[in-house]
Amino acid sequence: MTASLADGAGTFEIAGKKVARLGFGAMRLTGLGIWGEPEDRAECVRVVRRAVELGVQLIDTADSYGPHISEEIIREAVHPYPDDVLIATKAGLTRNGPDVIRRGDELVRLGPRAWPPVGRPEYLRQQTLLSMRRLDLEAIDLFQLHLSTPRFRWRTRSAS
């Protein structure tokens, strides 16, 4: 790859791929409150494509963004993925609805109850497989646990 704007942040290696430290966080590719479809899906697709054109190689998403919307937009925008692009995703949080709602002219944050943690190994495995399907990947280069709570001991959070 030629020098890009993202290269200025330096690089590191993940899963055998050298990637620019400056990545793209895809949480806001969704509707209000990180819930549902964005107002302009085509614009979200253009933004992701442009990020990759500018040299972004690390795209970070999660099954709970939308839920699922962010992963679907990434696939739509970038698949088939360039060899130097790494898709990182996560699981471990479920969604009960948006985390922000509109009341008149105000936005009201609902707080953490909109993102309950689920760390059961069978759930994490299921979500990994579903993310692979939505992203159209045979393997996920970087899978992250999207929760940190003492309720789940690490031994019980690890999925095969």
Residues 39-42: contacts with CB within 8 Å, 24+ apart? 41/73
**CA dist., res. 156 & res. 1, Å (int):** 41
Annotated catalytic residue 81: no
Angle, in degrees to the nearest 10, between helices 121-135 and 69-78: 30
**Residue from 65, 85, 90, 114 carrying the catalytic annotation:** 65
Contact 61, 74 (CB under 8 A): yes
Nearest-angstrom CA–CA distance, 33 and 112? 12
Is-contact 65 29, C-beta < 8 A? yes
Task: Write out the two tokens for 108.
Answer: 């009201």
Q: Known catalytic residues?
A: 65
